Amino acid sequence: MKKVVKFLATLMALTMMMSLLAGCSQKAPAATSEQKVEKFKIGLSLPTQREERWVRDKETMEAEAKKIGVDLEVQVSDNDSAKQVSQCENLITKGVKILIVGPHDSKAAAAIVEKAHAAGVKVISYDRLILDSDVDLYVSFDNFKVGEIQGKYITEKVGKGNYVVLSGDPADNNAKLFKEGAMKYIKPLADKGDVKIVLEQAVKDWKPDEAMKHMENVLTAQKNDIQAVLAPNDGTAGGAIQAMAAQGLAGKIPVTGQDSELAAARRILEGTQSMTVFKDTRELGKAAIAAALKMAKGENPGANGKVNNVKLDVPSILVESVVVDKTNLDKVLIDSGYLKKEDVYKK
Ligand code: BGC
């Protein structure tokens, strides 16, 4: 009898141990979703590194990818849309799971989305919208609003007179949005006859040199009688201001900008450029990498808006943009750590 009891006790103890062990293995941490996608690659295709902002976009995304332990393969297309398509094909061949594309040409880049989708790769349209495509997500600023900020600023400063209206590269969808936003304020004044638009000109590839040439020509044609310049970004503003400086007019004609480049901040302080728009590309880069990670895990990246790209309303993550001039430059650009005080105020 004793033997039977001992045997039963041993059996029970064994059973308990086994069930405990089984419980342990059930509770062993399941691979987290991060671990599951640990080895995946993200492709990043940027249009250029000419403007300072694109350098920061790249640096931020590289740092963010490193933080989460994801491989980021970067290509820069140097404002060449055929090159961008082939670089993206290459990234797809290399097995990226998500492709982040800042298109040089908003229409031509639709081919990239098709090729990516055919290979099961999702595409995030970065800063510039890829038109007429099934792009999966758009991460940008409200670019119409950026234009509104510029238009409101310049029309409040100069309500009457001869305006030069420059816009960005015609293949960049943002250029169109910036201009439309700004014209919301300028056009009513032109319709009233208070403002005369003496030059309305797109600047090929956003080149500062081109902006300078257009400005030189219009200054000559108008015998320097110009009261305001809508420049779409800091690079083109810099070109236009150089042409004005040659006529002794720098600082006498209000000029807009955007991007909060270091050179623009310095011009704002010296009074040759009136304003810029602060678009925190650090936030944009972080948002894009975070969204890519979610998409790679099959999760919803989350969106706070939709932007139509002709074919569909693309779910969009839109980051805020802020007007900057002499009155708030220190607070917005220096206190936020975007620019360094010693660089901005360097003599
Ligand atoms: C961007 C601007 C930039 C311009 C030229 C636009 O699409 O939104 O920030 O200055 O391209 O690169």
Pull the structure tokens for residue 262: 């270091």
Place 25 in a pLDDT band, splitting at 50, 70 and 90: very low
Pocket of ligand 1 (CB under 6 A): 48, 51, 53, 127-128, 168, 172, 174, 206, 233, 259
pLDDT tens digits, 74-124: 999 999 999 999 999 999 999 999 999 999 999 999 999 999 999 999 999
Going from the Cα of 6 to the center of ligand 1, the distance in angstroms, rounded, reads 82
Going from the Cα of 269 to the center of ligand 1, the distance in angstroms, rounded, reads 22
With a cut of 60, say whether residue 132 has pLDDT above it: yes
User: Which atom of ligand 1 is nearest to 173's Cα?
Assistant: 7
Question: What span, in angstroms and rounded, lies between the C-alpha atoms of 38 and 296?
Answer: 10
Going from the Cα of 186 to the center of ligand 1, the distance in angstroms, rounded, reads 21
Going from the Cα of 253 to the center of ligand 1, the distance in angstroms, rounded, reads 23
User: Which atom of ligand 1 is nearest to 279's Cα?
Assistant: 9
Strands 98-101 and 41-46: parallel
Q: Tell me which of 11-20, 139-148, 248-257 is least confident.
A: 11-20
User: Which atom of ligand 1 is nearest to 232's Cα?
Assistant: 10
| Mutation probe of ligand 1 site: the residue of 77, 142, 233, 277 with most atoms within 8 A of C-beta | 233
3-state DSSP helix/strand/coil percent for the chain, to nearest 5? 50, 20, 35
Pull the structure tokens for residue 193: 């006859």
Dihedral angle of Cα 6, 9, 10, 14, to the nearest 10 degrees = 170
